[in-house]
Chain A
Amino acid sequence: MSAAFDLEAIRRDFPALDQQVHGRDLVYLDNAATTQKPRAVIDAVRNFYERDCSNVHRGVHALSQRATVAYESSRTTIRKHIGAHDSREIVFTRSTTEAINLVAASFLRPRLQPGDEILISEMEHHSNIVPWQLLRESTGAVLRIIPISDEGNIDLDAYQGLLGPKTRLVGIVHVSNALGTVNPIKEMIAMAHEKDIPVLVDGAQAISHLDVDVVDLDCDFYAFSAHKVYGPSGIGALYGKRKHLLEMPPFQGGGDMILSVRFEETIFNEPPHRFEAGTPNIEGALGMATALEYIDGVGLEAIRKHEERLMKEASLRLPEVPGLRLIGQARQRAGAISFVLNGIHPHDVGTILDQEGVAVRAGHHCAQPVMQRYGLSATVRASFGLYNREEDIDALIRGLESVREVFA
């Protein structure tokens, strides 16, 4: 059970928030790009280096045993956090991107025939577009796109129509990094499963905002990164149903992913180690687990409510800025709010906001197809984390007034 949501106490847990930028208190509204790290995560990484630093899965000495236990306990923490039943269904990766590439290479590639279809949506991040394009080029498969509405909702009727006898995989983002849309993925997974089509969910944004339960969702794969959920960068995880992982060939070859190696024949290790070639990012895994424990301690329900208030406030107040237009007004949104200012390029907005101490993202958010969908090359994106305050929205709006002054 979580205690009451104490925003000031939470803010004190994040050392990076307490700084000035260009002489102003930092207002960090770029959480969809990466999140700041709580002291607990920083300490977990430091403790590993100061006490337990050694390699995992091989040493007989004390440090290696401690490192191995900590590394494998991290896997268990991640399993519990996303509601999976079996720790062997959690594969450590470098990132969401690598997790998606792993599914592309080891799960889908062996199943693809020329003309087979991969279905993704119009609002995907490049990381859930480009791996499939690479696969398309080497297999002759076809990439098909689920359209979205002007508001930024998935067109479920079109989706139903696109699920066909040749569809081999659906790859869908849980929460859009560019629009903030929360997709009805449980419903979409059920629709795909009716036709025996597996579904991969890109959970990079969702993991810090929503209470993800992979068993309830019944997704086949769920990919996410630690750095978007207050953990270190360079570490992520792939959840995959055990029945799939058991059938999949290795992703990369090397140490730790084998049971025995002879020049004539190598016997591969069992999942998840089969997919974790080489010395892993041990301290990253520890930091990732600590980050998830941290948000579990605060309570995802409390975090969701707090962030919903911020999103609602921002959605009400931003359109009061003259010339401001919100991009994406989906039924359900989380985390990010995208907008443009009439006649002022997002890059100029971003530079001026930065001078006011307000960090936002200006650009295409690595989601160029969805930008094109709205006839834009870029937007300004403010994205929230659990430590943001209503005052941050005040600062954003004051900053936008400065932008308008400069361009008056």
Chain B
Amino acid sequence: MSDLKQLYQEIILDHNRNPRNCYAMPEASCSADGHNPLCGDTVKVYLRIEDGIVREISFEGAGCAICTASTSMMTESVKGKTVEEVIELFEGFHHMLTGIAEEQDVELGKLRVFEGVREYPVRVKCATLAWHTLRSALGEEADGPVSTEDS
């Protein structure tokens, strides 16, 4: 049970129960769809960007607790940041979970609660789906729906 508590920390369960910024945004300046073909989970991320700063971010969809909480907490952590800062945060988060990206000196704050997911390799994609989708919305990934099975 203790391992599971490490994975399903209270803050994750809370964001799963009450996801923040979960709504459609018709006036979004950009958006993207993400899809995890392994489980069929889908997420749509909306952004309103003004002067290179994320003024508003929201999402619809998501799936399991890890995916939903990660998406919800992502929206909280990127609001008010510049696009460059958001990309840095993506890299830092990705590195924490996979060790693939370059290690960066990024302040992850509350996002550290997802560190436990690293012990569950099949669930890493649940935690990173929203972030890949966000990067796609920012035009940093190829056009078309992003999939956790891309690269």
Contact A406 B4 (CB under 8 A): yes
Residues in A neighbouring B57, C-beta threshold 8 A:
none
A347 in the interface, Cβ–Cβ < 8 Å? Answer: yes
Residues in A neighbouring B63, C-beta threshold 8 A:
345, 347, 377-378
Contact A368 B1 (CB under 8 A): no
Provide 30 A-B residue pairs closer than 8 Å at the C-beta atoms, listed in order of the A residue. Answer: A344-B65, A345-B63, A345-B64, A345-B68, A346-B39, A346-B64, A347-B41, A347-B63, A347-B64, A347-B67, A347-B126, A351-B7, A351-B120, A351-B123, A352-B8, A363-B39, A363-B40, A364-B39, A377-B39, A377-B40, A377-B63, A378-B40, A378-B41, A378-B63, A402-B4, A406-B4, A406-B5, A406-B8, A407-B13, A407-B65
Taken together as a complex, chains A and B put the C-alpha atoms of A348 and B69 apart, in Å, by: 12
B3 in the interface, Cβ–Cβ < 8 Å? Answer: yes
B24 in the interface, Cβ–Cβ < 8 Å? Answer: no
16 further contact pairs, Cβ within 8 A, besides A345-B63, A378-B63: A344-B65, A347-B41, A347-B67, A347-B123, A347-B126, A348-B8, A348-B66, A351-B120, A352-B8, A355-B4, A363-B39, A377-B41, A402-B1, A406-B5, A406-B13, A407-B65
A32 in the interface, Cβ–Cβ < 8 Å? Answer: no
Taken together as a complex, chains A and B put the C-alpha atoms of A347 and B66 apart, in Å, by: 9
B 92-130 to A, binary, CB cutoff 8 A, 1 in contact else 0: 000000000000000000000000000010010010000
Q: How many residues of chain A get a CB closer than 8 Å to chain B's CBs?
A: 20
A371 in the interface, Cβ–Cβ < 8 Å? Answer: yes
Residues in A neighbouring B4, C-beta threshold 8 A:
352, 355, 402, 406
Interface-central residue, A351, A355, A371, A407, by most chain B CB under 10 Å = A351
Taken together as a complex, chains A and B put the C-alpha atoms of A352 and B63 apart, in Å, by: 16
Residues in A neighbouring B66, C-beta threshold 8 A:
347-348
| Chain B: number of interface residues, binned into ranges | 20 to 34
Taken together as a complex, chains A and B put the C-alpha atoms of A390 and B1 apart, in Å, by: 24
Taken together as a complex, chains A and B put the C-alpha atoms of A22 and B126 apart, in Å, by: 22
B61's nearest neighbour on chain A, judged by CB, is: A377
Give B118 Cβ to nearest chain A Cβ, in Å.
Answer: 13
B11 in the interface, Cβ–Cβ < 8 Å? Answer: no
Residues in B neighbouring A348, C-beta threshold 8 A:
8, 64-66
Kindly identify, within residues 1 to 35 of chain B, every residue whose CB is under 8 Å from any CB belonging to chain A: 1, 3-5, 7-8, 13
Residues in B neighbouring A402, C-beta threshold 8 A:
1, 4
Kindly identify, within residues 337 to 386 of chain A, every residue whose CB is under 8 Å from any CB belonging to chain B: 344-348, 351-352, 355, 362-364, 368, 371, 377-378
A371's nearest neighbour on chain B, judged by CB, is: B40
Taken together as a complex, chains A and B put the C-alpha atoms of A364 and B42 apart, in Å, by: 13
B38's nearest neighbour on chain A, judged by CB, is: A363
B13's nearest neighbour on chain A, judged by CB, is: A407
A344's nearest neighbour on chain B, judged by CB, is: B65
A 384-408 to B, binary, CB cutoff 8 A, 1 in contact else 0: 0000000000000000001001110
Taken together as a complex, chains A and B put the C-alpha atoms of A368 and B41 apart, in Å, by: 12
Contact A347 B39 (CB under 8 A): yes
Residues in A neighbouring B65, C-beta threshold 8 A:
344-345, 348, 407
A349's nearest neighbour on chain B, judged by CB, is: B64
Taken together as a complex, chains A and B put the C-alpha atoms of A384 and B3 apart, in Å, by: 28
A 279-298 to B, binary, CB cutoff 8 A, 1 in contact else 0: 00000000000000000000
Taken together as a complex, chains A and B put the C-alpha atoms of A345 and B1 apart, in Å, by: 18
Residues in B neighbouring A355, C-beta threshold 8 A:
1, 3-4
